[in-house]
């Protein structure tokens, strides 16, 4: 069964460092998302991406965040200068098309710990 894969599963980084979280969406999907879940809190939307551009972003997704689809398969989230409060589980998701009946498939998540 096709799946969304994320790497690494766990990343520890020093405050102020840049991190890149990687995702390989399902191959024929067109819409890509990043979500974040701070420990003990609900999952929050960060950004959606379609046709090589951001289609929507939340107020969390400030200038220190960026997303990219550098080739035909990877979808990355970059955090330029990490802060302690960026520590969270980051989930990538993809869906085949835009429409009410579209299912989203989630990766297993990357646990980011900023120290």
Partner 1 sequence: KNEVEQSPQNLTAQEGEFITINCSYSVGISALHWLQQHPGGGIVSLFMLSSGKKKHGRLIATINIQEKHSSLHITASHPRDSAVYICAVRSRTGGATNKLIFGTGTLLAVQP
Which residues of this protein are in contact with partner 1, per CB under 8 A?
31, 33, 35, 37, 41-45, 48, 50, 55-56, 89, 91, 93, 95, 98, 100-109, 111
* CA distance readout (Å), 21 to 4, 98, 100, 110, 112: 13, 24, 28, 7, 9
Q: How far is the CB of 28 from partner 1 (least distance, A)?
A: 16
Q: How far is the CB of 108 from partner 1 (least distance, A)?
A: 4
What gap in Å lies between CA 12 and CA 101, rounded to an integer?
Answer: 37
Q: How far is the CB of 91 from partner 1 (least distance, A)?
A: 6
Q: How far is the CB of 47 from partner 1 (least distance, A)?
A: 9
What gap in Å lies between CA 72 and CA 86, rounded to an integer?
Answer: 28
Nearer to partner 1, 18 or 56 (CB): 56
What gap in Å lies between CA 4 and CA 26, rounded to an integer?
Answer: 6
- Contact present, 84 and 15 (Cβ < 8 Å): yes
Nearer to partner 1, 22 or 106 (CB): 106
What gap in Å lies between CA 57 and CA 49, rounded to an integer?
Answer: 9
Nearer to partner 1, 62 or 103 (CB): 103
Nearer to partner 1, 82 or 90 (CB): 90
């Amino acid at each position: 069964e096709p799946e969304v894969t994320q790497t690494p599963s766990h990343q520890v980084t020093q405050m102020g460092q840049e991190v890149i979280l990687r995702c390989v969406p399902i191959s024929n999907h067109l819409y890509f998302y990043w979500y974040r879940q701070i420990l003990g809190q609900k999952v929050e939307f960060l950004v959606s991406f379609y046709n090589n551009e951001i289609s929507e972003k939340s107020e969390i997704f400030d200038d220190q965040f960026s997303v990219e689809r550098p080739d035909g398969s990877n979808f990355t989230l970059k955090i330029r200068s990490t802060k302690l409060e960026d520590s969270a589980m980051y989930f990538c998701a993809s869906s085949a098309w835009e429409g009410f009946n579209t299912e989203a498939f989630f990766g297993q998540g990357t646990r980011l710990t900023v120290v």
